[in-house]
Chain A
Amino acid sequence: MSLLSVENLTVSFKTRKGPVKANEGIYLKLEQGETLALIGETGCGKTTFGKALLRLLSKNVKFEGRIFFRGQDLLSFPEKKMRRLRGKEIGIMLQNPSLALNPVFSIGEQLSEIYRCHEGCEKKEAEKKAGKMLELVEIAPSRMAEYPHQFSGGMLQRVMVALGLALHPALLIADEPTKGLDPQTKEQIARLIFKLVSKETSALLLITHDLEVAKQLTERAAVMYAGEIVESGKTKELFSNPKHPYTQALLAALPENGLRAVPGQSPSFVSPPSGCRFHPRCAFRKKSCSQIRPKMLELETGRKVRCLLYENYENFEKTEEKANAAT
């Protein structure tokens, strides 16, 4: 049994302009202690996916599909049961720590209240645990009484790590943990997350647009485009031998590969492009690309791509089934 198994998940929001599908048909598996990067450009639906796993989205959300965690479908959980799971089984570091931390409570308070709430700790004991957690993320416990605005960006990110891992969850979702940091600090934070996650043997779902960090931290990676996963595989292979034209374009946009930006703009979620969602920006598009929705194809074990270039028209239905079964 996988730790996390997302099956055909579609997340849509009811809006005045009609339903907006922020995630569509997502299959994803994560084993105990495994690390996976979810890569994609800003606004592709990565954050929505991360929040969807903990059911943290706004009230107008609609879920289809299943999210299995240790074999139990999270979407069928009543809110109370879900609440006990949050933080305890699945921890999440939301992006932008300066917004995700309450400005009027001290760091120590925000950390120790987790222990009071989940474990029923007394005040002193909770503070002791909070202090230990801060030490773990290399912040002096003497800074417990300080408030978020007194910390630098890198330190705030450490606080987020401490909050996310406070209850030793089996899965940590880290949403853009290195966003807006200078290269050195980025490196430090990435190392810290890697160290702690391995120590706790937690699984890691890293949501990022930073390919460097993804390469550094994860064994497997999935690339998201316009709410769909377009390619997945081992991180190394995916980076050394990208299959999907979008992944190729993303890698070509890296500074060391020539800084060639992906042409065009991210598509609208209200009226996504017909056929393959990437076709308006794709350098290899064929006529059929605007008409046929490509299915997820398994090229080899654990290596999947959603692109017509690789599709075998005669039996793609079967391939799809096989691919999904093996996710």
Chain B
Amino acid sequence: MWKYIAKRLLLIFGVLLGVTFVTFSAMYLAPGDPAEVIALARYGQDLSTEQIEAVRAAEGLEAPFHVQYLTWLHHLLHLDFGKSVIDSDDVLEEILLRLPATAELALASLLLSLLLALPAGVLSALKQNTLLDNVCVFTSLLGVSIPNFWLGLLLIWLFALNLNLLPTHGYGTLKELVLPTLTLGTSMAAVTTRLTRSSMLGVLKQEYIVAARARGLDESTILFKHALKNALLPILTLAGMQLGYLLGGVVIVETIFAWPGLGQLLVASIFDRDFALIQGCVLFIAVLFSLSSLGVDILYALLDPRIRYDQQD
């Protein structure tokens, strides 16, 4: 098992190296002069060529591509993500400041999604082609089809404006967490419900379910032990990807609810052409995504012995 995790970590390291290269190249190749952006932020509108050149020299921006890239990597190894070119804040600090809000929203939405989707999907599969199943399938289709921003606005209109139960936006208390969580959680639940249903239906047709029945096991053991453990495997993959996606910050929902998360930070940094911050954010999001998929791989190996042992051999 440890060997398996170590292997995975090594792989992640490779992936992250690739990510640094791609983001750095993208920023390097993007039109616009970083020196000018920095100088603009420092000295205001009226810039002289000398000022820009001075900044270029001071920030090491005249060095060739590979030197700049390796310098950046070298700093990264010391956990130095650089400073924002706009306000000189430390990039890592800035990101870590936003992380709790993002993590809170991500975990809450994922939890809500699974709490809704697992029972709904399993029930739907067990009562296949009944009214209940049809209602579940229809509702989840609706959930998949409704765009997030619209659902968010609708929820604000209903709960905040009409019923006056919850705040329209903000961050800090549980009350403010409810609407963004509902927006994200329900739309993810729609996808997960459909997957749970089809996965469960597939598993229930397997011969080992018939075999379990043939041994006279009771129905709840068959369903919740034999079937569910197998059905969970694809759901786990999906949930892991959803978590990775959520941890990367959900721009639209964060914007609607003025949620101070990573997504907002990334978008703001792009608008400001704050390349140090952009690179930092992208890399950090890649790290989070990789870690959550590592988490899924580990859980997967715990659930499915075939994977565990195949990797060890």
Contacts and interface: CB of A to CB of B under 8 A. Distances in A.
Same complex origin of A and B = yes
B298 to A, nearest CB: 16
Nearest to B233: A104
Contacts of B212: 102
Contacts of B221: 113, 117
A150 B309 contact: yes
B229 interface: yes
Given A102-B226, A117-B216, A118-B216, A94 B211 contact: yes
B237 to A, nearest CB: 15
A88 B208 contact: no
B210 to A, nearest CB: 6
A103 B304 contact: yes
A92 to B, nearest CB: 5
B218 interface: yes
Given A104-B303, A149-B305, A94 B207 contact: yes
B215 A114 contact: yes
B306 interface: yes
Contacts of A147: 305-306, 309
A113 B217 contact: yes
B175 interface: no
Nearest to B203: A102
Contacts of A150: 309
Interface string B184-222: 000000000000000000000011101111111111010
Interface in A75-111: 83-88, 91-92, 94, 96, 99-106
Interface string B283-313: 0000000000000000000011110010000
Interface residues of A, number: 31
Contacts of B206: 99
A283 interface: no
A118 B230 CA distance: 23
A94 B210 contact: yes
Interface string A145-189: 001011000000000000100110000000000000000000000
A230 to B, nearest CB: 27
B215 A86 contact: yes
Nearest to A94: B211
A167 B216 CA distance: 11
B216 A99 contact: no
Nearest to A160: B211
Nearest to A109: B225
A56 interface: yes
Q: Which of A100, A102, A114, A166 has the most CB of B within 10 A?
A: A102
Given A100-B207, A147-B305, A86 B214 contact: yes
Contacts of B207: 94, 96, 99-100
Contacts of B214: 54, 56, 86-87, 92, 94
B204 to A, nearest CB: 11
Interface in B263-288: none
Contacts of A85: 216
B311 to A, nearest CB: 13
Given A83-B218, A99-B207, A102-B226, A56 B306 contact: no
Contacts of A163: 211, 215
B210 A56 contact: yes
Q: Which of A85, A91, A100 has the most CB of B within 10 A?
A: A100
A94 to B, nearest CB: 5
Contacts of A117: 215-218, 221
A85 B207 CA distance: 20
Interface of B: 206-208, 210-219, 221, 225-226, 229-230, 303-306, 309
20 contacts: A54-B214, A83-B213, A86-B216, A87-B215, A94-B207, A94-B214, A96-B207, A100-B207, A102-B208, A102-B226, A102-B230, A104-B303, A113-B221, A114-B216, A117-B215, A117-B216, A117-B218, A147-B309, A149-B309, A167-B216
Q: 6 closest A-B pairs (Cβ-Cβ)?
A: A86-B216, A87-B216, A99-B207, A100-B211, A147-B305, A87-B215
